[in-house]
Structure 1
Amino acid sequence: MARTFYCSLYSQDHIDPNSVSLLLDAIPSSARASPRIQSAMTAPISFVDLLEASKRCPRRSSPGLDGLPYQILH
């Protein structure tokens, strides 16, 4: 049952490129991220990134959906 749910959740949907363009064109330039920030936001996430992010989380936390608490990463 869980497998079916996640397969459905993460399956690709058709995206209409024209609709995307219209949506993006409606964003005022004052609200757009700079090219540097855009690049950082679309860069691949590395294991080091995950470890750095986990350091900002409380060590004593409830496990997430994967069942692993942050304490294990430390």
Structure 2
Amino acid sequence: LYDFGHFADGGCHLIVLVPHAHIAQYGIAKIVAVRSGIYKRVSENGGCFSAEHGVGPMNAAYYSKYTTPVVQHISRAMQQLM
């Protein structure tokens, strides 16, 4: 688990990094479980999911689960303005 970026404003990024050679050892299900647990814990502690450079297919389910419909609507409206 690596964290990086935006520390001064409290917006750190977390990434679960598993070397390709070890994916079979850990399994995709375990990696997904770790990511899900992180997002759940962040949400429970007042943090939020963000995707300043786009959500992407790997994060779409987390975005839907951890952002409100209002935030999603505003995000779509802002994308259309660009």
TM range, smaller chain: under 0.3
Structure with greater strand percent: 2
Larger radius of gyration: 1
TM-score of the pair, normalised by structure 2:
0.24
TM-score of the pair, normalised by structure 1:
0.25
